[in-house]
């Protein structure tokens, strides 16, 4: 055959093949980095033929910034509870069709009736976590029960905390008996002296991977996400301990939600329901050991995983969640920036 | 000779000839680039800086000067001064380390020169973030440096190298060194050896020849290198987060937080950005005025 004829034939064959294949469906997932295992995405694509584009972010605010810019269209986002509340106030979320989510029944009762979305009409809990204290027991011998034990002058330059002003402020508020939903200008003024004592002691601010500094031995104490702590404990249960601060802390619930304007609503529902299957959900737990709100999935965990105190705190404490605090967030940022600048080296 | 290299980066007075139609055509892509990616974003930033904060981020278009009043807070002034200080030290270190390297490369023979130039560029083959994380491995308390020092018995306790201001300056210097070497190299390469010999023949010592002949002749490269290092060093916040532990904010961190942090205060971030841009513009103007040849 002449080369040209061969080329034309090949092109025709290609066109025919393309014509036969159904238009590949997609799902644009915009979620936290290191939170959705590749295995889960692949499994979903294999079963449904829907290709998942997984784009990641490192904070709720980063997600909002991209969502609001309208530059990209997302079908499924993963906001924390206070961001669900903020998005709902602005009517930015699509109401979910529960008929398409038969596996929603697996979500435990303690994740229902919460202020951000009482009926789970706009959001489905993905993972829950707490914020607590990690202690390297090889280096810190005295008992650590709360924030006050961590932020001691003798621990100067041995502490990692989340790089998150709102988190830091609510810890300081807890030592004054204030809950995470009481962030006001007056209360911020009250905790300023606390922060002025605490922040000069901190060595590292890191929200992305606070476990790294602990694992490397650069710090001995941390106030971090429970999932990070759980990984440390899985790594070396003798060396690391997780403590829920006695002054109080909060839990966060990350959810799947469909933003208004989503182009693949059907695919989004299918993905949510897929993730809600116990055998899928447990894979997420195994890779990212937060608290799984899916009670059926929890049953599939190994006894060791169930016993990890960072994933499943003993006594199952009832903790509050964050609320949308509105414009006072500007003051929170200013306060922490101020105190950091003044305590800088 | 001065102006020849200067024009690449610094405007050298009024244009001597206006471009013809063909010239405009050739300039087209550059003009498009400048308008689309420099002028338009800066204009958006300027507009946002006079708007109010939107609830979920974004802005509400109501004119206000509040964002600029907020910038005038002493805290931000302090942070800007610290950033200037860090960027200044970084630039000085890059110059001190980069000048001799650039000189040696520029004066070496053709074959060795391309090899040495390639070695300067090799780091760009790896992502900047990965290279910065590599420094974490080197500097951490059980890292390369501390293991060596402990093993050699020079110290008995690991030194706190990581998460210090020194680590930040080291990381910045490491990142920007090639940006100092390359422009100085291009000046050194054009340096006429006869002029140095003339200086030596006329009785100047090596130091004097360096200070009075070599440095002035390579000053366009130095100026370009200083600008290429100083300006980005001022704004780069990732090194501060990774190697400094985010302990003290640089101005880049503060701006980042207005978009990706709790505050969701885009207009304020835009105002900070505008103030920095105006500051850069002023500095640039001053440098280019001093660079302009007298004739």
Residues A191-234 have pLDDT tens digits of 999 999 999 999 999 998 999 999 999 999 999 999 999 999 99
Asked if the structure places residue B79 within a domain, the reply is yes
Chain B contact set for A59 (CB, 8 A): 260-261
Three-state DSSP state, A176: coil
Q: What is the pLDDT of residue A58?
A: 87
Asked if B245 lies within 8 A of A206 by C-beta distance, the reply is: yes
Residues B54-107 have pLDDT tens digits of 988 889 999 999 999 999 999 999 999 999 999 999 999 999 999 999 999 999
Under the banding of pLDDT at 50, 70 and 90, the label for residue A344 is low
ipTM of the complex: 0.83
Residues A151-176 have pLDDT tens digits of 999 999 999 999 999 999 999 999 99
CA A322, chain centre distance (Å): 13
- Average pLDDT over chain A reads 91
B108 touches chain A (CB under 8 A): no
Residues A93-144 have pLDDT tens digits of 999 999 999 999 999 999 999 999 999 999 999 999 999 999 999 999 999 9
- The residue range of the domain holding B257 is 74-291
Asked if the structure places residue B198 within a domain, the reply is yes
B163 touches chain A (CB under 8 A): yes
Is residue A335 over pLDDT 90? Answer: yes
Q: What is the pLDDT of residue A331?
A: 95
Q: What is the pLDDT of residue A70?
A: 79
Please, which residues 78-107 of chain A have a Cβ atom closer than 8 Å to chain B?
A: 86-87, 89-90, 92
The token duo for A61 is 């605010």
Give the A:B interface size as CB pairs under 8 Å. Answer: 119
Is residue A67 over pLDDT 50? Answer: yes
B56 touches chain A (CB under 8 A): yes
Residues 6+ apart with CB under 8 A from B52: B59, B60, B61, B62, B64, B66, B267
B160 touches chain A (CB under 8 A): yes
A330 touches chain B (CB under 8 A): yes
Q: What is the pLDDT of residue B204?
A: 87
**Which parts of chain B register pLDDT below 50?**
1-12, 294-295
For A162, nearest residue in chain B (alpha carbons): B246
CATH number of A129-251+320-343: 3.40.190.10
Instruction: Quickly list DSSP for chain B.
Output: -HHHHHTTTS--SS-SS---HHHHHHHHHHHHHHIIIIIHHHHHHHHHTTSEEPBTBSEE----SHHHHHHTSHHHHHHHHHHHHHHHHHHHHHHHHHHHHHHHHHHS-HHHHHHHHHHHHGGGGS-HHHHHHHHHHHHSTTSHHHHHHHHTTS-SS----SSSHHHHHHHHHHHHHHHHHHHHHHHHHH--HHHHHHHHHTT--HHHHIIIIIHHHHHHHHHHHHHHHHHHHHH--HHHHHHHTT-S--HHHHHHHHHHSTT--HHHHHHHHHHHHHHHHHHHHHHHHHHS---
Distance CA B32, CA B28 (A): 6
Number of domains in chain B: 1
The token duo for B204 is 């100047």
Is residue A18 over pLDDT 80? Answer: no
Identical fold for domains A3-128+253-307 and A129-251+320-343, yes or no, is yes
Asked if the structure places residue B99 within a domain, the reply is yes
Chain B contact set for A166 (CB, 8 A): 262
Q: What is the pLDDT of residue B7?
A: 43
Asked if the structure places residue B8 within a domain, the reply is no
Distance CA A60, CA B260 (A): 8
Chain B contact set for A160 (CB, 8 A): 245
Q: What is the pLDDT of residue A20?
A: 45
Per-domain boundaries in chain A: 3-128+253-307, 129-251+320-343
CATH number of A3-128+253-307: 3.40.190.10
Please, which residues 240-269 of chain B have a Cβ atom closer than 8 Å to chain A?
A: 241, 245-249, 254, 257-266, 268
Residue of A63, A340, A343 to mutate for B, most B C-beta atoms under 10 A: A340
Q: What is the pLDDT of residue B133?
A: 94
CATH number of the domain bearing residue B179: 1.10.3720.10
């Amino acid at each position: 055959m002449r080369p040209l004829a061969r080329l034309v034939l090949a092109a025709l064959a290609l066109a025919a093949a393309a014509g036969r294949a159904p238009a590949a469906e997609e799902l644009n997932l915009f979620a936290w980095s290191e939170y959705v295992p590749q295995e889960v995405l692949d499994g979903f694509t294999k079963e449904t033929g829907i290709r998942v584009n997984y784009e990641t972010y490192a904070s709720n605010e980063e997600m909002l910034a991209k969502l609001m810019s309208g530059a990209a269209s997302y079908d499924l986002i993963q906001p924390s509870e206070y961001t669900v509340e903020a998005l709902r106030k602005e009517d930015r979320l699509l109401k979910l069709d529960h008929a398409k989510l038969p596996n929603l029944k697996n979500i435990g009762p303690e994740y229902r009736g919460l202020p951000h979305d009482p009926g789970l009409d706009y959001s489905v809990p993905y993972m829950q976590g707490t914020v607590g204290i990690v202690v390297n027991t090889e280096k810190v011998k005295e008992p650590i029960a709360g924030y006050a034990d961590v932020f001691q002058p003798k621990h100067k330059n041995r502490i990692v905390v989340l790089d998150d002003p709102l988190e830091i402020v609510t810890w300081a508020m807890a030592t004054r008996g204030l809950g995470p939903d009481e962030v006001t200008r007056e209360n911020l003024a009250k905790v300023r002296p606390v922060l002025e004592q605490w922040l000069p002691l901190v060595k590292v601010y890191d929200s992305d991977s606070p476990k790294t500094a602990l694992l490397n031995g650069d710090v001995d104490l941390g106030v971090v996400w429970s999932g990070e702590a759980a990984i440390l404990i899985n790594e070396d249960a003798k060396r690391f301990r997780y403590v829920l601060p006695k002054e109080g802390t909060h839990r966060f619930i990350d959810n799947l939600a469909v933003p208004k304007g989503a182009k693949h609503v059907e695919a989004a529902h299918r993905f949510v329901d897929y993730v809600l299957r116990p055998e899928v959900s447990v894979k997420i737990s195994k890779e990212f050991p937060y608290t799984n709100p899916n009670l059926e999935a929890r049953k599939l965990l190994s006894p060791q995983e169930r016993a990890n105190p960072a994933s499943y705190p003993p006594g199952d404490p009832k903790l509050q969640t964050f609320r949308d605090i509105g414009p006072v967030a500007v003051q929170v940022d200013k306060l922490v920036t101020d105190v950091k600048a003044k305590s800088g080296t | 000779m001065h102006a020849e290299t200067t024009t690449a980066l610094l405007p050298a007075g009024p244009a001597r000839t206006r471009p013809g139609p063909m010239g405009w055509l050739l300039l087209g892509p550059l003009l498009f680039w400048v308008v689309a990616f420099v002028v338009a974003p800066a204009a958006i930033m300027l507009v946002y800086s006079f708007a109010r904060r939107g609830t979920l981020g974004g802005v509400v278009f109501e004119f206000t000067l509040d964002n600029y009043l907020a910038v005038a807070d002493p805290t931000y002034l302090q942070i800007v001064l610290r950033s200037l200080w860090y960027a200044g030290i970084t630039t000085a270190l890059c110059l001190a380390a980069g000048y001799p390297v650039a000189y040696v490369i520029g004066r070496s023979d053709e074959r060795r020169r391309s090899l040495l130039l390639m070695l300067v560029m090799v780091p760009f083959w790896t992502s900047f973030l990965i290279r910065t994380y590599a420094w974490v491995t080197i500097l951490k308390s059980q890292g390369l440096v501390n293991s060596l020092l402990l093993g050699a018995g020079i110290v008995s306790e690991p030194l706190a190298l990581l998460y210090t201001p020194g680590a930040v300056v080291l990381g910045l210097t490491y990142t920007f060194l090639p940006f100092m070497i390359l422009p100085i190299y291009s000046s050194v390469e054009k340096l006429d050896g006869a002029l140095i010999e003339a200086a030596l023949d006329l009785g100047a010592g090596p130091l004097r020849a360096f200070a009075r002949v070599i440095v002035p002749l390579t000053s366009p490269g130095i100026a370009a290198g200083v600008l290429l290092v100083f300006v980005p060093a001022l704004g780069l916040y990732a090194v501060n987060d990774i190697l400094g532990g985010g302990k003290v904010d640089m101005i880049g961190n503060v701006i980042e937080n207005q978009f990706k942090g709790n505050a969701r205060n885009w207009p304020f971030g835009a105002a900070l950005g505008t103030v920095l841009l105006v500051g850069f513009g002023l500095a640039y103007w001053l440098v280019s005025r001093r660079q302009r040849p007298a004739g």
